[in-house]
Chain A
């Protein structure tokens, strides 16, 4: 903890441009973080993940000097996208472009506008408290009322070319105005061989009758903690795909809050894991209002000694009648040494709702494999078809062509890495 405190103190000492209020907020959030501490095995929703490395490893905050080695990174936008680039925690305004109707501000601006405070209430999640305290990069992106974007926005957060162990605490706000619609690709990519840790908080606010297609592509190689909150007002529609691949340690907390009637949230996830990788996802879908629909469909594919955790909870509050909520978690183990903990839960406090949940973990079906082989398809190719087919049930839901093509390519190269490894 002392290490994190000294990082905070140097941030406060160097951040002379920051208003006093922000500095006070950082201190308050840090107190909350120290009260909570890092999760231990005794914390019910965190018990299958070892967070001790956050005590053991020393990460320093990025500085202006860390930008230099990243400047030559070949940033490749997905097909037909607007671009927002952050390199080693530094927003690259001159290399980013967004259309009319979309405003980007750094969070410092937002804080000065006094809009951020709403989100900084007493927090139960220590990683969110730490993010608030050390928040060093991140943006507020506003899509104005009535604006319908014809092309996706591709936000790229790149960690590259570093020698020290660094950490970033980015905070991203996506605010969809009334009747607006947008496709937003939130993309994390890291290729540096030193340890690094991105502790992210993303809050998406969907105003009345807005549509957000959100694809979160997470391919950091080291440590990544992601908090995703979605707030849906009346008639809002969310389609979200959470893709994770190649991360040594990943923890994702996803919360969907229904604040208005007749809203719909569709949440899909695919995690590709090998070696000793560990990925832990917790989802809470909170039906606070009647007449809302939600679905969750999460899949994990695990090889080698990889281990996965899925904790999904549907909460249907009193008076949230006519809720229709589904949850499914399916996991494919490609190795005898891979493991998966899956725990779907329902908490229902009202009548007249339709809720289903289910979970299954297993190996490739012998019957299906035999069927394909009996048609002359050789074993390795048949297995690959089946794994691709397993993943396709998630990837087929992605609306944006560029994202779908990118993730299919990722899946193919991941499968090739298994065959060659």
Chain B
């Protein structure tokens, strides 16, 4: 589904990603771990198409290069990221935003757009899955939401938009145990054989709930080690320094 080939990324002459190869197949969940500043979030933003990067190498999505595509084109292709820091958008109603995003995707797939009533029925069912109060639908996007509520709102978008490939950028950070369970359940709800996930995380706990197929460790812009869930436990015990150099 996703193939990253010999990827180098610079921001203003500073090299952040220094030759990454990564292939994620449909049905798989890959975990990407590593210290702060190792390049994990940059990799995520390069996949979703944020401006401001100088890129070498290629990223293929379902066999097609996406590097020349805009963020909205990639989203319509089925790429989604749960943001590490979800952005507050003052005055823009959360439900209106969710409906606009879903209808953009439906239109792109050649499906009929949902009207307000049908959308309301759908979103009320989805919001229950992330155990959020319905009042969050009538507020401005992420405005005044707590850290945990923002993350739930990201997973609500994941469940509503039903992308093919989802990047979870530290979706578990700053969550208490109950919230983490809700988020993990939401993510497991989303998973199926046609979809894939790249989960960026610092912690073992979320991965215990989600059972990744592969675990990668990124240090200084490179993937230095790949393994299975055992690698997570090893990192938990030993830290990252043994993988350096």
A interface residues (Cβ-Cβ under 8 A, vs B): 365-368, 370-379, 381-382, 385-386, 388-393, 396
A379-B70, A381-B100, A385-B97 given as contacts; is B75 within 8 A of A374 (CB)? Answer: yes
CA distance A172 to B87 in the complex (A): 46
Q: Does B86 contact A (CB under 8 A)?
A: yes
Task: Determine whether the beta carbon of A375 is less than 8 Å from that of B75.
Answer: yes
B144 at the interface (CB under 8 A from A): no
Quick check: B76 and A376 within 8 Å, CB to CB?
Answer: yes
Query: Chain B residues near A393 (CB, 8 Å)?
Result: 90-91
B83 near A: Cβ within 8 Å?
Answer: yes
Q: A376-B76, A376-B161, A381-B100 are contacts. A391–B71 as well, Cβ < 8 Å?
A: no
* Set of chain B residues within 8 Å of A367, measured between Cβ atoms: 87
Residue among A365, A376, A390, A392 facing the most chain B CB atoms (10 A cut-off): A376
Given contacts A373-B71, A373-B75, contact A386 B92 (CB under 8 A): yes
The reply to whether B72 and A377 form a contact with Cβ atoms under 8 Å apart is yes
Residues on B with C-beta less than 8 A from A396 are 91
Write the nearest CB–CB distance from A281 to chain B, whole angstroms. 21
A-B contact count (CB 8 A): 83
CA distance A42 to B87 in the complex (A): 44
Name 29 interchain pairs, CB-CB below 8 A, sorted by A.
Answer: A371-B83, A371-B87, A371-B89, A372-B89, A372-B97, A372-B101, A373-B49, A373-B71, A374-B71, A374-B74, A375-B80, A375-B101, A375-B104, A375-B161, A376-B72, A376-B76, A376-B104, A376-B105, A377-B72, A377-B100, A377-B104, A378-B104, A379-B72, A386-B89, A389-B91, A389-B92, A389-B93, A392-B91, A393-B90
Interface residues on B, range: 20 to 34
Cα A374 to Cα B50 in complex, Å, equals: 8
A376 to B103, CA, bound (A): 9
Q: Which of B49, B88, B91, B93 contacts A374 (CB 8 A)?
A: B49
Give complex CA distance A146, B10 in Å: 71
For A390, the chain B residues whose CB sits under 8 A away are 90-91
Q: Is the CB of B90 within 8 A of A389?
A: yes
Residues from chain A with Cβ under 8 Å of B104 in the complex:
375-378
Q: A385-B97, A392-B91 are in contact. List 4 more A-B contacts (CB 8 A).
A: A370-B87, A374-B50, A388-B92, A393-B91
Find the A residue at minimum CB distance from B92. Answer: A389
Contact, CB under 8 Å: A389 / B105: no
Chain B nearest CB, measured from A285 CB (Å): 24
A368 touches B89 (CB 8 A): yes
Closest 4 CB pairs of A and B: A389-B91, A376-B75, A389-B92, A375-B101
